[in-house]
A and B are shown apart, each in its own frame.
Chain A
């Protein structure tokens, strides 16, 4: 159990949120030109690292807004939370 600071509602319990997978995956501009392998890479393959990961989260039982989170998967430490559409930090 941990607390997540929703950028709209403030600090709430993790129970109210749903994880939405890896963030900042860009849809290929010309999907028809991709090979099946490249398409599968875009569609299915996700990082699942031990360490710092960029994720999307949804405040499902609150304001129902999506936002981005930088989280250390080894200890659930939340490094940064920023709104959808904002650029990820470079370092």
Chain B
């Protein structure tokens, strides 16, 4: 994370729902299909990539989120240093996967803004702007989805009960943030 100005500095608190940005977090995008890809990534991450749709896997350091049958997002659990955008894990994966043509590793730390939503009525907020059916999603911890929220592409990760992480592209983040602010105030 180097040169960027976050638009989101304050925290939203409305009707028992709080929303804040979590930053800086390492985010990597992994793509690959081959069997060797899975074994190499498994060794490097110390985690098996989830292959079931709309699920995730987690250990004490990382969370891997299923995006598509050959695409995952890896995020760090803990915040990383602000004055660097070099990550040991990215280098390791880059050398073992990208350089050996097993797949692709892309650093998307700065591409996505990570928001953390906490409160009882998170899914009521989502329901006011998303076509996705959250009925099953909200029952299960660790579920993920990519969908639309107020016509903006988002990745939603159900971290814990009443705790959800939302990823939105940086250029859309200010717009989504103001929509969330407005929408949450009307819940």
- Interface on A for B, CB 8 Å cutoff? 8-13, 15-16, 61-65
Contacts and interface: CB of A to CB of B under 8 A. Distances in A.
Interface string B61-72: 000000111010
**Lowest 3 CB-CB distances: which A-B pairs, in order?**
A13-B131, A63-B68, A15-B131
B80 interface: no
Contact of A16 (B68, B71, B147): B147
Contacts of A9: 53-54, 145-146
Nearest to A11: B133
B127 to A, nearest CB: 12
B172 interface: no
A62 B131 contact: no
Given A13-B131, A16-B131, A61 B153 contact: yes
Q: Helix, strand, loop or mixed for chain B's interface?
A: strand
B95 to A, nearest CB: 27
Contact of B132 (A8, A12, A63, A65): A12
20 contacts: A8-B53, A8-B68, A8-B69, A9-B53, A9-B146, A10-B54, A12-B131, A12-B132, A13-B131, A13-B132, A16-B131, A61-B146, A61-B147, A61-B148, A62-B145, A63-B53, A63-B67, A63-B68, A63-B69, A65-B69
